[in-house]
Amino acid sequence: MTSLTRTRPFAGAAFFGLWAAAIAVAPSLTVKAALAAPALIIPVAWWTILRPGRWAALFLATALLLPPLPIAIGDSGPHICLLFAALGLLSMAIWSPQWNLDLSGPGAALVALFGILLASVASAAWHSGIPVAAASFARVALFGISLVIYFAPRDGTLGLRPLYWIAAVSALFACVDFYYQFPAPAGYGPQFVWLDSGVYRRAQGFFYEASTLGNFCAFFLVMIGVAFSRPREVSPVSRTALAIGGAIFSAALVLSYSRGSLIALAVAVAVLVWQNRQRVRFGRLAVGAVAAVLLTWRIFPSFAEMYWLRLSATAEYLFSATEGVLSGRVASWRTLLAWIEAHPWETIFGIGYKTLPYTDYLGAPIIADNMYLSLLVETGIAGLAALIWLNVSVLRAAGRATRSADPRRAFCATWILCFWAGEIVQMASGDLLTYWRVLPVYCFVLALAVRP
């Protein structure tokens, strides 16, 4: 027995010695990092699953603060936050008694929409082949992360204060990234602005493309507006922090060059003003907005001028030159509507979620840039109905929760009510369900607002 006891530590020491030697003699830094990774991954994974909500906190933090890995997999490369999503599935198995699958309101609509998206993968395989179906399944799985975040236990997850500061740091990096034009990591969308001084990549920050950043900034600008419309003690952060964040998020939104996100923000603010028409402090909101605009104009004068010209041209030529104003979207919509008219029976079931940008089934790949139209073609009538159900259920549940006696619940409910009203409008010009790194943040706040 004594000999066996002594052998075990010796074997362990030998193993770790060989491991260290392998790292030392590895031919490249990449191989060294791969060999050393378990020394970090295993302790972090163990710490994460000790509480049921920690994986969600780490997922949200890494999704907002880290770029994709420079690995050529898929369109955009893998992201480290997906490791924590995988740990979330393990956490579900370990902490299953603490998971509350409340299927009332938005919960049932989310589950229904996920089920329809998953079923549409079969249509993708039938119409477009296995490779396109595999990509469709990957997109469904990414949407499923938001579903799991919504139902996840809150023990160990993020509070609103750290979430706010994480988001502010992410938006600040987007501004710095635009100013210095850092080399884009793997998978970034080629989105540029042509100025007299040169061609510049639109602000994207840590995200895959600029519209995601704009949508994300609009979300937290709505939070700031809600906070300023309520007493100080209800706000997750101080007034000074709100003012700093407002300047950062406003600048990042402008630098993203996203008109759809700005329209969504305008709709959200209109709903907020209506909700609080008796007590909104219009002066503070106006001063904050003007200060953010002036700051952006001061630091990025050429870009701010170009953005203003783009917005004014959009308003002036929206009806007389719609195709140009909407960046070619109308032609895509006409193509899809013509296909629906010619193939009514196939429209009932759809051709597979997120297959339009990759399949030749309609003659050529198409970027729909319309969540309602793309879901109708890709997932059929059931998919479109599920999205409408989700939108209505979010507004109804959040509207009821705004009257809650719990200040935090009422705050989050007002936040998500105003923002989702803007999302419903922006879905007409963007595939917002594909924003898989920020959609879980929205579902997290939605859960705080409406889940028991």
Average pLDDT over residues 128-140: 94
Is residue 113 in some structural domain?
yes
> Could you tell me the two tokens for 178?
């635009």
pLDDT for the residue numbered 54: 86
190-206: pLDDT as tens digits: 777 766 667 778 888 88
Nearest to 417 by CA among 441, 435, 392, 384: 392
Token look-up 């109308």 returns: 330
Nearest to 369 by CA among 292, 269, 258: 258
Q: Is 225:419 a contact under the CB 8 Å cutoff?
A: no
Residues 137 and 181 in one domain: no
| DSSP H/E element including 192 | strand 192-195
Residues 340 and 258 in one domain: no
- Based on the structure, what is the number of domains in the chain? 3
Nearest to 123 by CA among 434, 380, 368: 380
Is residue 18 in some structural domain?
no
Model confidence band, residue 258 (pLDDT cutoffs 50, 70, 90)? confident
Token look-up 């030392």 returns: 24
pLDDT for the residue numbered 21: 67
DSSP class of 402: T
Residues 224 and 122 in one domain: no
Of 83, 98, 113, which closes a domain? 98
Q: Is 52:155 a contact under the CB 8 Å cutoff?
A: yes
Residues 344 and 278 in one domain: no
Residue 410, domain extent: 105-157+335-452
Q: From residue 160, how far is each of 47, 48, 85 by CA, in Å?
A: 22, 20, 20
Residues 288 and 171 in one domain: yes
Is residue 72 in some structural domain?
yes
Is residue 11 in some structural domain?
no
The rounded distance, in Å, linking the Cα atoms of 240 and 84 is 33
The rounded distance, in Å, linking the Cα atoms of 446 and 251 is 26
Question: How crowded is the C-beta side of 230, counted as CA atoms within 13 Å?
Answer: 23
Encode burial over 342-379: b for 16+ CB neighbours within 10 A, e otherwise: eeeebbebbbbbbbbebbebbeeebebbbbebbbbbbb
pLDDT for the residue numbered 419: 97
Token look-up 């907002």 returns: 64
Residues 147 and 176 in one domain: no
Quick count: other Cβ atoms within 10 Å of Cβ 421?
A: 21
Of 56, 79, 98, which closes a domain? 98
DSSP class of 215: H
Model confidence band, residue 325 (pLDDT cutoffs 50, 70, 90)? very low
336-365: pLDDT as tens digits: 999 999 989 888 999 999 999 998 888 888
| DSSP H/E element including 158 | none
Residues 169 and 286 in one domain: yes
Residues 114 and 233 in one domain: no
Of 317, 351, 385, which closes a domain? 317
Average pLDDT, the chain: 83
Is residue 260 in some structural domain?
yes
pLDDT for the residue numbered 435: 93
pLDDT for the residue numbered 74: 62
Is residue 293 in some structural domain?
yes
Size (the chain), residues? 452
Which is it for the CA torsion 361, 363, 366, 370, positive or negative? negative
Residues 186 and 290 in one domain: yes
Residues 274 and 356 in one domain: no
Is residue 433 in some structural domain?
yes
At position 148, the amino acid (one-letter code) is: V
> Could you tell me the two tokens for 322?
């719609």
| DSSP H/E element including 193 | strand 192-195
Is residue 346 in some structural domain?
yes
Task: Select the highest-mean-pLDDT range: 89-93, 164-168, 321-325.
Answer: 164-168
Residues 125 and 172 in one domain: no
Residues 359 and 438 in one domain: yes
Distance of CA 227 to the CA centre of its chain: 22
